[in-house]
Structure 1
């Protein structure tokens, strides 16, 4: 069954090429013959063997050829990704180590929502042609990656991947060499994205271009993995990853608000779902976040829960409120959101507007302006709150304040130490271990000496 040029492409196939004169034209033709609408973007990064003359003879509107001399295979993939127009993108080697006919199967898993990235593994199936040394080296790389990222990969260095074009561009890859594949995998694992490996055929053609790297390439791959493991990205994103590993803490936070949460609930600023999963038993759970990447993570995480809806919402924009209002929400929960918004009164009014009559708005915010420090600055906090300012904010928005209470007295001390004393910009990963060791001390301290001190304020307001 031949491919078709009619209609927009479902899949952009990136073919990085350097000195593949024997195979590149055949690779492109096999890609065009796939039973899905495709476009092929060939990224030539320095061929000197006549590959470019061969490519110029490919007279097909579905084929784009981009020249990126000196960019390396990773740079070629990045350049080609910016030219891709389909929703999904596949990476296909020009030397036919991987068979293009297997790409629709990988695409099917992606479109079915089985994963955010689908990788072809040479080691899951029985059809492969590798030397013993290369197989041994790949297994060593896989072991190293699995230890670093607590994963279970079988083929880190695969040259066969399918993912969304938007995601590939958002990963902002920095590697220009063949280690770009390891960088894709590492950044996806750090973000908590799902990777699915499916068996593919591997044929060493002599034109695959991959065997030339040898040990030098292997060392670059190891270096890339190590760099990505210790790399510090956005402080807020890193803190969400830290909290996602601290189930005992998020369960405790959920217990603060659980008595006030009704059957039809929205969480604003749901992040990656660490708190939302404790309310999965509600009749309706609507999860919103400003960050589209987090929305994708939420949709993936709760894909098997038909009563969970995930949407992007900037709560300073009242536009979507009418649609949410029709859902009959009796509870809106906002955890550590208002401090990020300059006009917090507008945000509260918009959240209140989606509630049904007598519905509740539950707000958790950072408390005590006097412990404001470098952590707050790194997280983009405009302010911390006290009981008076938070109560006034809710009343000005037209809510009847039912309760305002300080929580996590011990956490306030830790925040002051990290943000004021040590001038830290990240919540240290050691805090996860420390909290687990000290638990349930923070809860006991709150019960005995609550009062007017705490890392957080919890407020409950009811629609009049």
Structure 2
């Protein structure tokens, strides 16, 4: 399943820890909602345990959660979500909005995955992508959770454009996180585990400042990349 999110996800423990990143998760939820159409069918590509699909569904979005991992599929079903295991289960031109958060970096053939998503969108459909940025920031945590790559602005834009999308917006996010991740790479642990205490400290005290700095730094650097594209 080289064009789908990794079938056996190896970072479930880190996924659980990330539930405690309250400000970070709220930012991603708000970002997804801001780009969403007023109505229509929505696909969460790589839904995990429903961290985003579940609350967005409660806000009235008609969401289908795509998740190949069977253990995580059970969680999604338990939350009353519609679940599929691959894009092959979806009809072409049937989705109005697709968002994918920290997923594309897991996929070997990411361009093929993007072409598949392009086919599933309606003519006026939109795609939102959020991925880790800068190969220099690749750490033991990336390796543990199965990241194949980290992106630069140019590499992500090239892949999305090659898949047929028109890019509407692209920029780096979490600018202070760039330096925090670099510090983790230099002095952090080698097993890739996320420290709950450090995560909470960063999320509560530093992430809001980082978001403010993004207004200036988003063209040049950040821990992640945010891209919005349309099909036509």
TM-score by length of 1: 0.45
| 416 and 450 in structure 1: CA distance in 2 versus 1, 3 angstrom threshold | same
Structure number with higher helix proportion: 2
Could you say which structure has the greater relative contact order, defined with CA pairs below 8 angstroms and 6 or more residues apart?
A: 2
Q: After TM superposition, give the deviation of residue 259 of structure 1 in Å.
A: 2.2
In the alignment, structure 1 residue 273 sits paired with structure 2 residue 50: yes
Q: Is the radius of gyration larger for structure 1 or structure 2?
A: 1
Structure 1 unmatched ranges of 5 or more? 1-233
- Separation in 1, partners of 2:52, 2:182: 24
1:455 equivalent in structure 2? 223
Give CA-to-partner distance per residue, 1:36-68, whole Å, 9 cap, x none: xxxxxxxxxxxxxxxxxxxxxxxxxxxxxxxxx
Structure 2 unmatched ranges of 5 or more? 1-8
1:433 equivalent in structure 2? 200
1:103 equivalent in structure 2? none
Which of 50, 60, 76 is the aligned partner of 1:282? Answer: 60
| 358 and 296 in structure 1: CA distance in 2 versus 1, 3 angstrom threshold | same
Q: After TM superposition, give the deviation of residue 311 of structure 1 in Å.
A: 2.1
- Separation in 2, partners of 1:269, 1:283: 17
Tell me the number of residue pairs that the alignment of Structure 1 and Structure 2 aligns.
219
TM-score by length of 2: 0.86
Q: After TM superposition, give the deviation of residue 402 of structure 1 in Å.
A: 0.8
* Contact persistence 1:266–1:332 (CA under 8 A): yes
- Separation in 1, partners of 2:158, 2:216: 28
2:3 equivalent in structure 1? none
| 383 and 439 in structure 1: CA distance in 2 versus 1, 3 angstrom threshold | closer
Q: After TM superposition, give the deviation of residue 246 of structure 1 in Å.
A: 2.3
- What is the DSSP-based 3-state SS (H/G/I as helix, E as strand, rest coil) of the residue aligned with 1:440? helix
Q: After TM superposition, give the deviation of residue 433 of structure 1 in Å.
A: 2.2
Q: After TM superposition, give the deviation of residue 386 of structure 1 in Å.
A: 0.8
2:210 equivalent in structure 1? 442
Give CA-to-partner distance per residue, 1:184-243, whole Å, 9 cap, x none: xxxxxxxxxxxxxxxxxxxxxxxxxxxxxxxxxxxxxxxxxxxxxxxxxx8611111011
In the alignment, structure 1 residue 336 sits paired with structure 2 residue 102: yes
- What is the DSSP-based 3-state SS (H/G/I as helix, E as strand, rest coil) of the residue aligned with 1:419? helix
- Separation in 2, partners of 1:247, 1:400: 32
Give CA-to-partner distance per residue, 1:359-407, whole Å, 9 cap, x none: 0111111111111122211121111111111111011101111111111
In the alignment, structure 1 residue 312 sits paired with structure 2 residue 90: no
- What is the DSSP-based 3-state SS (H/G/I as helix, E as strand, rest coil) of the residue aligned with 1:290? coil
- Separation in 1, partners of 2:54, 2:213: 26
